[in-house]
Structure 1
Amino acid sequence: MSELASSSDSTALAPPRVEGAAVDKGLRRGALGLVSSIVLGVSSTAPAYALAATLGFVVIAVGVQAPAVMLLAFVPMWLIAVAYAQLNRREPDCGTTFTWAARAFGPRTGWMGGWGIIAADVIVMANLAQIAGSYGYRLVGLDSLAESTLWTTLAGVCWIALMTWLCYRGIEPTARLQWVLLAIELVVLVAFAAYALVAVYGGTAPAGSLMPSLTWLWPSGLEWSSLTEAVLLAVFIYWGWDSALAVNEETIDPARSPGRAAIISTVLLVGIYTVVSIATVAFAGVGTEGIGLGNEANAEDVLAALGATVFGDDLAGRVFETLLLLSVLTSAAACTQTTILPTARGTLSMAAYGALPERFARIHPRYLTPTVSTVWMGVVSIAFYVGLTLVSENVLQDSIVATGMLIAFYYGLTGFACAWQFRRSLRSARDVLMRLLLPLLGGVFMLVVFVLACVEYADPAYGYTTVLGVGGVFVVGVGSLLLGLLLMVAWNLVAPAFFRGETMPRE
């Protein structure tokens, strides 16, 4: 009861807001520079894993114009990154969408924005853990264990526990590990693209290969349904760069560096995705047999399907093929770690302002990291992963796809929050563009993506499961938001001060 009482004490939790500064929550200040923030932003998207698991399905939907879809999906991500950067300059708070949406539209909207981040991160943790567990076995030649649900789940749980422990121990060790993991990913992806393009232009690529064309970069002539499906997939692979904003209170120059890191991260990602997708499509082609990207047997892991053929069977090729497996493993592991970071800091911020129990705001006296928030993120992720695995792997797969709806929800909300917050403080043409028009366009785009996802995913023919004649992906996505709504109502009954607007920093 003492925690609940202190959570409702608006005097203790409502200091004046200072422009360009965050309320001190006890995190380690100045721990990260701009480059480290960029590393976190890029690694959080898991580029190697994202390409391996998504590119094949994009090609099946739109053929050789997969690179065009990568460019198209970049546009809303960049627009939303601009919104994040502008809001962060005004109020660099680790609660990000929660804090900014609450400031713009009220506590209830902010709470749902925070919940959107939590739900999306918990759901995707299950997939990341599964991939890390499976690839860990493959890397050491234990393919039979990689195919075992029991052993893969056990390894996945160990990965989550390990990454939770690393996040608990401090932001600096986490950042140092991310440098190493991302370096492995990028070296292997660059080598993969280089080997593939050299083979194509040198005439040594296998039958079915194609010469790259500028027409691949423009989505003309595509059917609306195919383009929609491909964009929904591509939006998912860009998700994660906002982790750079979630550590803003631990960054040097917290009002500017995190926003710059987010924008730079999205630009780096579009470069990586476009180049690798061009190289992959050119080398493998879009045929439905063999290594062709139109072959559905290759779609779940394009990089593994092509690795041996791209790198060849000489010593260097075998080394890079092994590194390719390692890159997907490190990609999933890095993303697991950088998924825990923003969620723990989001719940820390929510608790600091009375939107969650006060215990979630506790900080370790030595490591200066959120203790309860970090541990709870790991525990809930493990419980969700194991629970869905026991129920059905099909449900697990559908839940992962459903994260796209949650991403569109809280990204779009952030875009609208930026436009609304700055609507009365536009002092120049640049302000009108950067603080109003671009964020508003990003919000509208994400709203359209959310609506299209609802329509697409509600189709019972989509995904692996159905519930009462409705697609299981839609049920998981909308159900997650409804669960958040119920939890918000319950917390409002217990500690209403936040929902009365008494605990947020005063203007």
Structure 2
Amino acid sequence: MTSSKGLRAGALSLTSSVVIGVASAGPAYSIAATLGLVVAAVGLQAPVVALLAFVPILFAAFGYKELNRADPDCGTTFVWATRAFGPSWGWMAGWAIVVADVLVMASMAQVAGQYTFLLFGADGIGHDATSVWVLLLGVAFMLAMTYLCFRGIDISARFQSVLLTIEFVALVVFAVVALVRVWMGNAGAAALTPQWSWFNPFEIGSFSTFVNAILLMVFIYWGWDSVVSVNEETVDKRSTPGRSAVISTVVLVSLYVLVTVAAQSFAGVGTEGTGLANPEHFDDFFAAIGTAVFGEGLLGQLLVHVLLLMILTSAIASTQTTILPTARTTLSMGVFKALPDSFAKVHPRFLTPTVSTLAMGGVSAGLYIAFNFVSAGNLIFDSVSAIGIAVGFYYGITGVSCAWLYRDTLRDGRRELWMRGILPLLGGAMLLFSAGWTAVTSFASDYGETSWTMPFAPHWQVGGVFILGVGSMLLGLPLMWWWRSRNRVFFDGEIIERRLPGPEARDREPVA
């Protein structure tokens, strides 16, 4: 059985869908790359930041759930924003999904390449992020994951289940062992007993610090929306994807708060030694404190290698599940004439997007190679920060679209008011604010790892995060205008109606 676009309908169960949602966030990779920076900013309040960053994400997930109930299209935000605010807004929302996914692929491929060498003891190569061997292996992982996505959604789901099991078990074991050692009093001099005060946001020094820390933590939740992008391939496509999205976010926040409390309790928040704020291991605290947590014995070393395998599988899983939603977004855009017809092609046997999947893998690999040789590879670090602009935009516009499209039903009851109106709108507003905040603050030359001096007056130095984040979003405008000049049918509003097609809105008049 196939969906209206030719995808394999009913291939994913609720469990498979949740697996894809959790794996898409790359929990181990995300928390390893983010927690040190958050601790350096807010100290002991990192757990409450992890918890509060979850709030707008959960509210946005409610918006996804309600919109998918009425309009389960694999184009998700692209289609819903088009219905709410018109073709141009919808096209840019789809472009934002592409931008975010392509930018982050370089980082995940690099991490996968590095940790493969670290796992097998080749530390010299593994610690050199720009090594040609790391690059080649990272590209190989990209191509392999692209091939798996091409071969079928069911194969992708089974592979994700294996990877996520390794990742999830390793994270829980790490957290439990760290906390047990703290409570037994043999965790070291830097160890701290968990306190409820760690969950008091008012102990954070300034509003600016609070906002920047929240924005860093929002990144670790990004990716769960993949479950909605595969809605047309899921059992009961109107309800299962939305339920999976909410379940995925709850699983993620539970895991993140547990690991954050455990790591902070064991290592402390100092700037030396194993302290989480030590700038020498900002990008991976697991590597810094793994041996201290598990010990140097045979079992300890085995578990340390399990941690390395955990980061590796997390990066590989995220690489695969990043390709899935982007390919389906561009597939939908092709079907609705917002992109060339070639993007609408589906393989007759595997029932997966063909051009969309291969284009995603090819463009991502090309950018990874380019980023690796520009600015000593530091553009890869900046690309991770830059995706916050695109993610905040398309998550935010989804929440706002939900409130707008359901505005005539909000008086039908309390559930409708809160789940379709207030909460999605509030989450959307917060995420749009976060995108704007990142865009403005990242203009500073010292915001990230790279900067660029304007070749014309006033010769400002602009941060690399701004160039990648804002620049890549703005690049969508001439591309949209070019395609509009070639084929106006989508932009004239002739394909997607300005209303929801579900039973809640089917009998209502179209929005003018």
The normalised TM-score by structure 2 is 0.93
Q: Work out whether residues 403 and 425 of structure 2, in 8 Å CA contact, stay in contact via their aligned partners in 1.
A: yes
Check conservation: 1:133, 1:153, Cα contact below 8 A.
yes
Deviation at 1:454, TM superposition (A): 1.9
Amino acid at match of 2:141: W
- SS of alignment partner, residue 388 of structure 1: helix
Match of 1:291 among 274, 279, 299: 274
| Greater alpha carbon shift after TM alignment, 480-489 vs 460-469 | 460-469
Alignment of 1:461-480 (within 5 A): 461-467=446-452, 468=454, 469-480=461-472
Give the letter for the 2:24 counterpart: S
What SS does the aligned partner of 1:424 have? helix
User: Are 1:255 and 2:247 matched, yes or no?
Assistant: no
Distance 2:12 2:342 in 1: 26
Moved more, 397-406 or 164-173: 397-406
Query: d(CA) in 2 for partners of 1:144 and 1:318?
Result: 19
**Alignment check: 8 A CA contact 1:23 1:93 kept:** no
User: Which residue number corresponds to residue 139 of structure 1?
Assistant: 119
Task: Please name the residue that 2:183 is paired with.
Answer: 201
Would you say the 8 A contact 2:34–2:217 is kept in 1? yes
Letter in 2 for 1:399: S
Residue number among 406, 427, 430 corresponding to 1:442 in the alignment = 427
CA contact (8 A) 2:3 2:9 kept: no
Q: How do 1:117-196 residues align onto structure 2 when only pairs under 5 Å count?
A: 117-146=97-126, 147=128, 148-196=130-178
Residue number in structure 1 paired with 2:439:
454
Match of 1:362 among 345, 364, 370: 345
* C-alpha separation in 2, matches of 1:99 and 1:65: 39
Q: 2:208 is matched with which residue?
A: 225
What amino acid sits opposite 2:274 in the alignment? I
Distance 1:55 1:241 in 2: 19
2:83·2:497 contact (CA, 8 Å) conserved in 1? no
Structure 1: how far apart are the matches of 2:432 and 2:230?
A: 26
Q: 1:408 aligns with which of 392, 395, 399?
A: 392
Partner of residue 30, structure 2: 50
Deviation at residue 308 of structure 1 after TM alignment: 0.6
Separation of aligned partners in 2, 1:316 and 1:396: 35
* Equivalent-residue separation in structure 1 for 2:272 and 2:12 (angstroms): 48
Distance in 2 (CA, whole Å) between partners of 1:23 and 1:411 is 25
Name the counterpart of 2:416. 431
Cα deviation, residue 225, structure 1: 2.2
Please provide the CA RMSD for this pair: 1.2
Tell whether 2:267 aligns with 1:275: no
What are the residue-to-residue correspondences of 1:7-86 with 2, within 5 Å?
Answer: 24-86=4-66
Residue aligned with 2:18, SS:
helix
Partners of 1:343 and 1:410 lie apart in 2 by: 13
In structure 1, C-alpha distance between the alignment counterparts of 2:438 and 2:238, rounded to whole Å: 34
The C-alpha deviation readout for 1:5-48, integer Å capped at 9, x for no partner, is xxxxxxxxxxxxxxxxx971000000001111000000000000
CA contact (8 A) 1:251 1:257 kept: yes
Q: Is the 8 A contact 1:90 1:255 kept in 2?
A: yes
Amino acid at match of 2:446: A
Contact 1:389 1:396 in 2 (8 A): yes
Corresponding residue to 1:396 among 364, 380, 390:
380
CA distance in 2, matches of 1:340, 1:451: 26
1: CA distance between counterparts of 2:123 and 2:440? 38
Identify unmatched segments of 5+ residues in structure 2.
455-460, 502-512
Please point out which of 92, 95, 102 is paired with 2:82. Answer: 102
Separation of aligned partners in 2, 1:436 and 1:294: 40
Q: CA deviation at 1:213?
A: 0.4
Distance 1:105 1:29 in 2: 29
Structure 2 residue matching 1:498: 3-state secondary structure:
coil
Structure 2: distance between partners of 1:64 and 1:57? 12
The range that moved more, 204-213 or 446-455, is 446-455
Q: Distance in 1 between matches of 2:40 and 2:5?
A: 47
- AA aligned to 1:495 is N
Normalising by structure 1, what TM-score?
Answer: 0.94
Aligned residue pairs, count: 486
Question: How many Å separate the matches in 1 of 2:495 and 2:208?
Answer: 46
Q: CA deviation at 1:455?
A: 2.6
Instruction: Write the letter of the residue equivalent to 2:234.
Output: T
State the AA in 1 paired with 2:193: M
Deviation at 1:443, TM superposition (A): 1.0
1:243-268 deviation line (CA, Å, top 9, x unaligned) = 00000000000000000000010001
The aligned counterpart of 2:457 is none
Instruction: Give structure 1 stretches of 5+ with no counterpart.
Output: 1-21
Q: Which moved more, 1:424-433 or 1:250-259?
A: 424-433
Shift of 1:505: 5.9
Question: Deviations 1:408-446 (Å, cap 9, x if unpaired)?
Answer: 011001011101100012321210111010110011101
For 2:482 and 2:351, locate their aligned partners in 1 and report how far apart those are by CA, in whole Å.
30
Contact 2:45 2:203 in 1 (8 A): no
Q: How big is the shift at 1:156?
A: 0.6
